[in-house]
């Protein structure tokens, strides 16, 4: 038996959550084309007869411009203190910036085994990939190019990770896939649909609170009631849309995903509320679940 914790870190939008979902084989973390999608650390566990790997997905490294964001940065940086291996995901198709290099240097100097993942290889020319492989070839850590979207080279990445696993014991029961509750996932599914269907800063200023999450007596239908908290009255108007069309559209997509995830019918009610500047309020962030000590 080999086992261990793998911290998945990298800049916002690099493809960390997509990769964790593919590695685990289940959707444990939401994904969107907008940076700063992940706000909490989320564990996804891959188990088979001989190995157990606990992947810790983290918020993307990003310049902190409010309290929520600095909390997210702290979460990402602290994760490397509790893991056995660092998997640094670099959006290879976007090219390598000085900031990328600095971050890679910083995290690879840590005492932990370090693996560099070059992501999104399906949408980049081979010549760019070759020059990036060369650029990091002298650092001495393994470099694995992958396309999480196409599942390309993911097996090779698992092989490299398995070689470095330090543990000899099973960490969790074999059927554990995530450390997150169904309630948490339901709120994240709603946030994912808002990220996909709303523009600019609106989704970044949204928090989703689950007020009711209950199964009916026959065990067939979940009754779920959510508050979508946004930062400004004009954001509320946009989220609701003309005659409620926007929030209806968002809620429909969210409900369909929730039904898939819970494998039951869902009766969903959504309320949109305003809490001005909640991302800078320690009190409100706590209320919305963003300052729990890990």
Ligand X SMILES: Nc1nc2c(ncn2[C@@H]2O[C@H](COP(=O)(O)OP(=O)(O)OP(=O)(O)O)[C@@H](O)[C@H]2O)c(=O)[nH]1
Contacts to Mg ion by CB under 5 A: 16-17, 37-38
Contact partner at residue 33 from ligand X, Mg ion, none, CB < 5 to 8 Å by partner kind: ligand X
Q: Is there binding between residue 255 and ligand X (CB under 6 A)? A: no
Closest distance to ligand X from the beta carbon of 110 (Å): 20
44 near ligand X, rule: CB under 6 A: no
Q: Report how far residue 26's alpha carbon sits from residue 141's, in angstroms, rounded to the nearest whole number.
A: 28
Sign of CA dihedral 150, 151, 157, 161: positive
Q: Among ligand X, Mg ion, none, what binds residue 140 when CB lies within 5 to 8 Å by partner kind?
A: none
Nearer to Mg ion, 60 or 165 (CB): 60
Exactly one of 4, 9, 16, 85 binds ligand X (CB under 6 A); that residue is: 16
Judged by beta carbon distances under 5 to 8 A according to partner kind, the member of Mg ion, ligand X, none in contact with residue 12 is ligand X
3-state class (DSSP) for residue 143: strand
Token representation of residue 147: 């396309």
The least CB distance from residue 204 to ligand X, in Å, is: 10
- Answer for which of 60, 113, 203, 205 binds ligand X (CB under 6 A) is 60
Q: At how many degrees (to 10) do helices 245-262 and 233-240 cross?
A: 70
Which of ligand X, Mg ion, none has residue 122 at its interface (CB below 5 to 8 Å by kind)? ligand X
Answer yes or no whether residue 12 interacts with ligand X by CB under 6 A. Answer: yes
**Which member of 18, 52, 69, 75 binds ligand X (CB under 6 A)?**
18
From the list 147-155, 196-204, 211-219, 268-276, the region that binds ligand X by CB under 6 A is 147-155
Shortest Å distance, C-beta 191 to ligand X:
11
CB of 17 to Mg ion, least distance (A): 3
Which residues, 6+ apart, have CB-to-CB distance to 193 below 8 Å?
A: 250, 251, 253, 254, 257
Assess 239 for contact with ligand X (CB under 6 A): no
User: Which of 209, 218, 219, 214 lies closest to 270 in space, CA to CA?
Assistant: 209
- Which residues, other chains included, contact 39 with Cβ-Cβ below 8 Å and sequence gap of 6+? 59, 68, 72, 290
86 is a site residue for ligand X (CB under 6 A): no
Quote the least distance from Cβ 123 to Mg ion, whole Å. Answer: 18
In the bound state with ligand X, the residue whose beta carbon lies nearer, of 51 and 153, is 153
Whole-angstrom distance, CA of residue 166 vs CA of residue 49: 16
User: Among ligand X, Mg ion, none, what binds residue 147 when CB lies within 5 to 8 Å by partner kind?
Assistant: ligand X
Nearer to ligand X among residue 16 and residue 246 (C-beta): 16
CA distance 215 to 156: 42
In degrees, rounded to 5, the angle at the alpha carbon of residue 119 between the alpha carbons of residues 88 and 46 is 65
Instruction: Please give the span between the terminal C-alpha atoms of the chain, in angstroms, as a whole number.
Output: 27
Q: Does 123 bind ligand X (CB under 6 A)?
A: yes
Burial group, residue 236, by CB count within 10 angstroms (0-12, 13-18, 19+): middle
Closest C-alpha among 24, 50, 69, 64 to residue 180? 24
Reading the block at residue 24, the tokens are 């685990």
Q: Is 17 in the site for ligand X (CB under 6 A)?
A: yes
37/147 with CB nearer Mg ion: 37
- Between the alpha carbon of residue 241 and those of residues 196, 206, 208, 238, 254, the distances in Å are 15, 16, 18, 5, 16
Give contact residues for ligand X (rule: CB under 6 A).
Answer: 10, 12-18, 31-33, 35-38, 59-60, 119-120, 122-123, 147-149
């Amino acid at each position: 038996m080999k086992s261990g914790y793998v911290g998945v870190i990298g800049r916002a939008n690099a493809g960390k959550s997509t990769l964790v979902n593919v590695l685990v084989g289940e959707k444990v973390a939401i994904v969107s084309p907008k940076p700063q999608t992940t706000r909490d650390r989320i564990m996804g566990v891959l188990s088979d007869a001989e190995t157990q790997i606990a992947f810790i997905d983290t918020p993307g490294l990003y310049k902190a411009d409010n309290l929520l964001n600095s909390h997210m940065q702290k979460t990402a940086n602290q994760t490397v203190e509790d893991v056995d291996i660092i998997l640094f995901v670099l959006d290879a198709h976007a090219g390598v910036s000085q900031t990328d290099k600095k971050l890679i240097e910083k995290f690879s100097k840590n005492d932990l085994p370090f693996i560099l993942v070059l992501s999104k290889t399906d949408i980049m020319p081979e010549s760019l990939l070759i020059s990036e492989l060369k650029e990091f070839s002298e650092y001495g850590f393994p470099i694995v190019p992958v396309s999480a979207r196409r599942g390309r080279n993911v097996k090779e990445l698992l092989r490299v990770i398995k070689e470095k696993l330090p543990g000899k014991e099973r960490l969790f029961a074999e059927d554990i896939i995530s450390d997150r509750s169904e309630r948490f996932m339901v709120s994240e599914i709603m946030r994912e649909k808002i990220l996909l269907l709303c523009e600019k800063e609106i989704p970044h200023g949204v928090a989703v609170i689950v007020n009711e999450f209950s199964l009916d007596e026959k065990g067939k239908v979940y009754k779920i009631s959510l508050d979508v908290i946004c930062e400004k009255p004009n954001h509320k108007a946009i989220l609701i849309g003309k005659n409620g069309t926007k929030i209806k559209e968002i809620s429909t997509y969210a409900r369909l995903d929730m039904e898939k995830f819970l494998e039951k019918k869902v009766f969903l009610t959504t309320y949109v509320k305003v809490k001005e500047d909640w991302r800078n309020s320690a009190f409100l962030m706590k209320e919305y679940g963003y300052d729990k000590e890990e």
